[in-house]
Structure 1
Amino acid sequence: MNLIQKKPLTELGYHFIDTTWLPKGKDEYYLRDQQWGKHNIYRKLNAQEIEILVRNDNTSDDWNNIFVSNEFNPQLVQHCHFFGMVRIGKLEPYFLEFHNLRLPVGLYNSTICACDFGDNVVVHNVNFLSHYIIGNEVIIANVNEMATTDHSKFGNGIIKDGEQENIRIWLELCNENGGRSVMPFDGMLPGDAYLWTRNRDDDALQQQFKAFTEKQFDKKRGYYGKVGDRSVVKNCKIIKDVTIGTDAYLKGANKLKNLTINSMAGAASQIGEGCELVNGIIGYGCRVFYGVKAVRFVMASHSQLKYGARLINSYLGNNATISCCEVLNSLIFPAHEQHHNNSFLCAALIMGQSNMAAGATIGSNHNSRGADGEIIAGRGFWPGLCVSLKHNSKFASFTLISKGTYMQELHIPVPFSLILNSEHDNTLKIMPGYWFMHNMYALARNSWKYVDRDKRTDKTQEIEYDYLAPDSVEEMITSLPIMELATAKAWYAARGNTIEKLSEQALLQKGRELLLVHPDEVARLTILAENMENSHRRVQLLKVHKAYSLFRELIVLYGIRNILAHTDSTIHSFAALQTIGKSAKRSAWTNVGGQLMKADTLEDLKARIRKGKINSWAQVHEAYQEIGKQYAEDKLQHAVASMLYVQGLSPKDFTAERFAQNLQQSVSTMGWITACIHQSREKDYQNPYRNMAYESKEEMEAVIGKLEDNGFIQQTVAELKQYKKQVKNLQKDWAL
């Protein structure tokens, strides 16, 4: 039975806060007055103003509870019904126009209950507007219901005085069983969500995260919803317990409930037709359009949901876009793209710079016995058409997965790989370094475009977009012995020799020798990998002889590029570089919401949180900024150490002559990369099956543009010239 309460009309607009929860000596307006800050500039209506208001078919339960500014014009209030205390700012004979919507300033045909209005607002045809603070020059038109309750939390995972713990909103990220749940809060960064979802066995750390969130908001009842200056709300049905920043644009939404919509000039957020959003935080500069359904979610700044997308129990990182598809129980780092109606993402940690193809089913329960599995994918994850993966699976950075159903769990530690399910010979095939060999254009362009499209106004976390970075380079270095060991085993197996008496070190040495000295011989081997799929079938590594040398070359390039980036600031001579080489050390790195951190830096951060030296989310964010300021130096140390390691050099062996060789090698590698970028794009122009869609070359160029006019390719050519010049100048300055 519906519980419909019948109360005296005289109570409508009053007793917003039950006396049980009112502090001693406070009235029901004390929080409202704190929020508004302008409550003392209003006066009561005079007799003439009341007369005009009544003549204009306005009513009030008590005209003494209507307060106005000195510039109030009663002629601009018509056919309205007021209940409770209402304060109205300046009303002048103007009309406001936004996107061709033109409406006169004033309050018209609306029921208004205990609200405050700024100057020159437009309120037209609002059936019920209750307990809101409306800023200056706001337009609200054709809204069925816009109300705030005394226990509003505006999407934050908190509870108010007198509420039970079981009503708290949690986001069940990364795992459907709720074991990695976090409490959402306004201002939550991808790194916050990551830290909270990990370390689940660390009770002290977990309790601190919960305490930070609780402390960020008080438990008092009675906060009003707000609509910031210049925001426009039109043709919406239900808006309940929603606070809205400045310059926002809401049009045609079906239901918005328990939300914070951050918005400001220069980073305005928009919500469009048919959307239903419940229990969420929407960051600055977000776009939500056309039938989107989102429940229990956080959208970081400048992210987008479009065309019927469904986002449930998920965190969407900055500058990410999800269209048409369904995403559940996932933590997604910045720069994620998912555009296809039939793609599905569930119970996953996706570490950014990722792209989901049509038909991809990542984490479906249909290929698992339970709902407690997870997918973990490093940066640059790209499952291709109709890929189906099984929990639990884990992928290194920049993994491309070819079309197919992968029936077993996968653990792919080799970055930049193509994964292929070869059904005709029942083999899982892995091509390390695929991107470098076959699609350098896409790899390089993606790194560039993510930087170019990073619209964040708040860059608290320094997000790494380069494909050669500490995380991917560490994975490349880890992959080298995997390839060495597999190569040695394949070589002995081809000769019918047993390896039981050979140590792992001996096998690694043999594999290294084969890959460095006899790559042609390696190319003829069938090289098998171990522990990459939970099955008994073969797992074959392809083109290992090419990938191995490429990884080594690129690690040297990574080192040289980072050295060159510091020659104008901290490294002024080869002696200074040698000093860095003596102290430089490699270590594990972690992707914390798109921001890369050394493992020991991350452990120090967690220790400071655990011990109370960091005691709020604001201080956690300050720590991110401190770590970000140190990142370039940490990256340099890692780059130098990695370059020396991959060449088997000690700091003592790192001579000026060897450095000069590395410089020349890096120029050669950069030249090769530039040529590969051009060649991988050129294939699209030379492929006869691509050309057959056009009647002539001229038509093709009219449709897709000329190859020689490609701006990104032109940019890479210019960068190569600049790089060569920089190396030449350094050799001259350092007398190398």
Structure 2
Amino acid sequence: MNYRKLTETEIARLQLQLCRADNWADIEVVEDFTPEFFRNVKFTGKNQLGKFGEEITLAGGVKAHTGIYDAWIHNCSIGNNVLIHTIRDYVANYTIEDNAIIFDVKLLAVDGESSFGNGISVETISEAGNRSVMIYDKLSAQLAYILALYRHRPQLIDNIEKMITAYSNQVKSSRGTICSGARIYRCDTILNVKIGKKAHIEGARLIKNGTVNSEAADPVYIGDGCHMQNFIICSGSKVNNATLVSNCFIGQGCILDKHYSADNSLFFANCQGLHGEACSIFAGPFTVTHHKSTLLIAGMFSFLNAGSGSNQSNHMYKLGPIHQGFVERGSKTASDSYVLWPAKIGAFTLISGRHYSHCDTSELPFSYLIEHKDVSYLSPAVNLRSIGTIRDSQKWPKRDVRKSENLLDCINYNLLSPFTVERMIQGRNLLLTMREKDETCAIYQYQGVEIEARILSRGIRLYENAIWKFLGNSLITQLEKSTKSLDKKEIQSILKVTSPEGSGKWVDISGMICPSSVLNDLLNDIESGKESSLENISAEFKRMHHNYYNYEWTWAYDTLSQWYGKKPDSFTPEDIIAVVKKWLTAVLNIDHWLYEDAQKEFALTQQIGFGIDGDEEAQRKDFENVRGSMETDDSVLTIKKHMEAKEALGKRIINMVKEANGLS
């Protein structure tokens, strides 16, 4: 943009409108600048001004002309059609882009050089700071996971931190930016903050040392009474209603609201924190807590639903805090649940009661962890027959509110994946071994929990059904890729593995599921210095995420070889039919269990309090009008349709194989 000096006529007009400057020569303006819309403005330092030719509409239909009114402006570059009105202290050292509004603000300034929250170390998981994560504008859940948990590879951590430090130094400046279309109303102090496009900040009390990475397509909102210090907040996120944030990274599509308090914590895509408190947590995607009395502390979570009064702690340390807990994806905590850290809870586990035994149930996913008289009991695999588990897995993708073209976090929503199925295989083997050692035992002890014999046997059966369901799903997905007749030659051709990537152990990197070997290839490159770009690291994570299904078939191939006793690329048509039948039996078994679980929601005991002043018929009708009926419930209908569809699919595959190979 080309600037010129003010003319004598323009200076005289500004002075007539009670404007003043230490040195009028230090003010530059665009060629078509007009001085009409400046009232009671004090200019100090060097300033640049755009044109102010538009009228805008504020809340309530109030019309206001762009310009600067009742303000002290120091060392600022102000774009076109900006409205700055009623600045109680001053605006200093900012570039304010086109169409921004700053209305009734006490202080807006950059004081010295700032990295605007980039490079801050967040003491996540360990309150002592031993797992600190350096944050920056484009931090993903995946990179943060590596920084927090791969401390056994110090050179890797050091190299990543050097990249983040370099980025922080690159964005360091003594001048802040208010990007185009931003709205700032009725705020007190905003100090050393960079504010992105179309951000809406209204009524905040203190915003200090941070970046608001708002985007035009997905703005950030910060509302009344909020205090935020040492932070980065990403597109589509909302912080409101006197929420307190200190030393935090808030990812895309998050909500922190209703007096929530968050300290030294990381929140990734679509997290929600209302009423309660977070201290040193790593909140992976879809970590949700809505209750005033809930404390999440010193733990790692993802896809979590925290019930009211949930808490974790360790008050028994003597050499400093050793808080550290891991609750793997998809778990829930019931009201007033408590876990004494350190502990590790397996994926998709329901935690109920109070647990003091430092349990590790990571090899027994989809379980109930319940307490009776201070004893922790585990029901392995029982969550596989819970309709709530299925409902949760279906709701998460629908609740992904991110709109950015650049999604920072890679999220895999699959309920059954090599990560969870691998754990189920380990869990099944573990339960079989326990039973074989002592078949007369009534209660088995394992890693701080007790498992009743009858529940152990049921867990084996549930795991086996889920494993065959997954293996059959993967096999059928491969077969459906064929555009030819499924004769023996085509079957063996299409079931071949084209790459070894996917074999072996899999990991859940805070929402992204991938083979450990593929991840380690990237980490080795970072560690050796071969990979030294944050952008390339992000791109590699996205490449892994994109290749999930290719990796999955390699893993399923290996596992199917073990479970069926034959490599899939040597399967005969008869083998295909046998595996599909096993798959169909497993799928229908699980769906029947889910259907039975759903029926419980419509039992008479669930209708207490309905039709409160009527007879039994009124109770039934009131319940149906409020909750619906078994015949019309969406989840129940989905199960029915799923059973019908899978049964039809199984028959279709079997018939195709029979026809192609002349089998009766």
TM-score, normalised by the number of residues in structure 2: 0.91
What is the SS of the residue equivalent to 1:129?
Answer: strand
- What secondary structure is seen at the aligned counterpart in 2 of 1:580? coil
Q: Does the 8 Å CA contact 1:430/1:541 hold for their aligned counterparts?
A: no
Q: How does 1:133-532 map to 2 (within 5 A)?
A: 133-157=95-119, 169-218=120-169, 222-350=173-301, 352-362=302-312, 364-369=313-318, 370-403=320-353, 405-412=354-361, 413-423=363-373, 427-437=375-385, 439=386, 441-456=387-402, 457=404, 458-459=406-407, 461-491=409-439, 494=440, 526-532=442-448
Bigger Cα displacement from structure 2, 287-296 vs 628-637:
628-637
Q: Could you tell me how far 1:706 is from its partner in structure 2?
A: 4.2
Task: Using the TM superposition, give the Cα deviation of residue 220 of structure 1 relative to its aligned residue in structure 2, in angstroms.
Answer: 8.3
Does the Cα contact within 8 Å between 1:368 and 1:391 map onto a contact in 2? no
User: 1:269, 1:91 → 2: CA distance?
Assistant: 26
Tell me, in whole angstroms, the C-alpha distance in 2 between the residues paired with 1:691 and 1:101. Answer: 52
Give the 3-state SS of the residue equivalent to 1:662 in structure 2: helix
Flag the 1:665–1:539 CA change in 2: closer, same or farther, 3 A: closer
Say yes or no: does 1:626 pair with 2:543. Answer: yes
AA aligned opposite 1:291? A
Taking a change above 3 Å as real, the CA distance of residues 259 and 221 of structure 1, as seen in their structure-2 partners, is closer
State the alpha-carbon separation in 2 of the partners of residues 583 and 171 from structure 1.
Answer: 37
Residue 122 of structure 1: how far off its partner (Å): 1.1
Corresponding residue for residue 547 of structure 1 = 459
Cα shift at 1:702: 3.0
CA contact 1:248–1:270 (8 Å) conserved in 2: yes
- State whether structure 2 residue 619 is matched by structure 1 residue 658: no
Range that drifts further, 44-53 or 185-194:
44-53
Q: Look up the SS of the partner of 1:257 in the other structure.
A: strand
The structure with the greater share of residues assigned to strand is 2
Deviation track 1:397-450 (CA, whole Å, cap 9, x = no partner) reads: 1111112x2222111121111112221xx643210111123x2x2111111111
Residues 432-475 of structure 1 show CA distances to partners (whole Å, capped at 9, x for unaligned) of 111123x2x21111111111122333345431112211111111
How many pairs align? 643
Name the amino acid aligned to 1:71. Answer: D
SS in 1 for 2:547: helix
Residues 50 and 79 of structure 2 are in contact (CA less than 8 Å); yes or no, is this contact kept in structure 1? yes
- Superposition map of 1:635-650 within 5 A: 635-649=552-566
After superposition, the Cα gap between the structure-2 partners of 1:543 and 1:72, relative to the gap in structure 1 and judged at 3 Å, is same
Q: CA deviation at 1:116?
A: 1.3
When the two chains are superposed, the root-mean-square deviation of aligned CA atoms in Å is 2.4
Task: Kindly indicate whether the alpha-carbon contact (under 8 Å) linking 2:93 and 2:175 is maintained by their aligned counterparts in 1.
Answer: yes
Give the aligned partner of residue 616 of structure 2: none
Distance between the aligned counterparts of 1:56 and 1:193, measured in 2?
A: 53
Aligned CA distance change for structure 1 residues 190 and 541 (closer, same or farther; 3 Å): farther
Alpha-carbon distance between aligned partners in 1 of 2:466 and 2:296, rounded to the nearest angstrom: 32
State the distance in 2 between where 1:379 and 1:571 align: 37
Q: Distance in 1 between the 2:501 and 2:42 partners?
A: 73
SS in 2 for 1:236: strand
Partner of 1:42: 3
What amino acid sits opposite 1:597 in the alignment?
Answer: C
Residues 88 and 570 of structure 1: CA distance in aligned 2, closer, same or farther (over 3 Å): farther
- Percent identical pairs in the alignment equals 22
Structure 2 distance, partners of 1:69, 1:704, is 64
Question: SS at the partner of 2:265?
Answer: strand
Relative to 1, partners in 2 of residues 1:330 and 1:48: Cα closer, same or farther, differing over 3 Å?
same
Secondary structure, aligned partner of 2:58 = strand
Normalised by the length of structure 1, the TM-score is 0.83
The offset of 1:150, in angstroms, is 2.5
Match of 1:501 in 2: none
- 2:632 matches 1:701: no
The SS at the match of 1:124 is strand
Q: Secondary structure at the match of 1:110?
A: strand
Secondary structure at the aligned position of 1:564 is classed as helix
The whole-number CA distance in structure 2 between the counterparts of 1:601 and 1:547 is: 31
- The one-letter code sitting in structure 2 at the alignment partner of 1:155 is G
Secondary structure at the counterpart of residue 211 of structure 1 = helix
Q: Mark the CA change 1:584 to 1:224 in structure 2 (over 3 Å): closer, same or farther.
A: closer
Counterpart-to-counterpart distance in 1, 2:567 and 2:91 = 72
How far the C-alpha of 1:700 sits from its partner, in A, is 2.2
1:383 Cα offset (Å): 2.1
Classify 1:76/1:715 alpha carbon distance in 2 versus 1 (closer, same or farther; 3 Å).
farther
Match of 1:734 among 622, 647, 657: 657
CA distance in structure 2 between the partners assigned to 1:542 and 1:427 by the alignment: 18
CA contact (8 A) 2:287 2:305 kept: yes
Q: Give the conservation status (yes or no) of the 8 Å contact 1:262–1:282.
A: yes
- Structure 2: tracts of 5 or more residues without a match: 485-489, 613-618, 660-664
Distance in 2 (CA, whole Å) between partners of 1:298 and 1:485 is: 44
- Aligned equivalents of 1:579, 1:222: Cα separation in 2: 55
Contact 2:561–2:568, Cα closer than 8 Å, also in 1: yes
**Structure 1 residues 272 and 460, CA gap change in structure 2 (3 angstroms):** closer
- How far apart, in 1, do the equivalents of 2:25 and 2:502 lie? 74
Aligned ranges 1:601-612 → 2 under 5 Å: 601-612=518-529
Q: Which SS does the other structure have where 2:216 is aligned?
A: coil
TM superposition shift of 1:732 = 3.6
Q: Secondary structure, in 3 states, of the residue corresponding to 1:692?
A: coil
Output the CA distance in 2 between the equivalents of 1:583 and 1:254. Answer: 55
Unaligned stretches of 5+ residues in structure 1: 1-37, 158-168, 495-524
Structure 1 letter corresponding to 2:411: I
Partner-residue secondary structure (3-state), 2:85: strand
| Aligned counterparts of 1:64 and 1:587: Cα–Cα separation in 2 | 70
Preserved contact between residue 96 and residue 122 of structure 1 (Cα < 8 Å): no
Aligned match for 1:711, one of 634, 637, 654:
634
Tell me whether 292-301 or 621-630 shows the greater mean CA deviation: 621-630
SS of structure 2 residue aligned to 1:297 = strand
- Secondary structure in structure 2 of the residue aligned to 1:217: helix
Q: What is the alpha-carbon distance in structure 2 between the residues aligned to residue 319 and residue 585 of structure 1? A: 28
CA distance in structure 1 between the aligned counterparts of 2:24 and 2:481, rounded to whole angstroms: 69
Distance 1:728 1:73, change over 3 A: farther
* Conservation of the 8 A alpha-carbon contact between 2:479 and 2:491: no
Which secondary structure state, in structure 1, belongs to the residue aligned with residue 187 of structure 2? Answer: coil
C-alpha contact 1:130 1:147 (8 A) present in aligned 2? yes
Q: How far does residue 326 in structure 1 lie from its aligned partner after superposition?
A: 1.0
Match of 2:506 in 1: 589
Quick one: which amino acid aligns to residue 552 of structure 1?
E
AA partner of residue 466 (structure 1) = N
Q: For residues 601 and 112 of structure 1, what CA distance do their matches in structure 2 show? A: 54
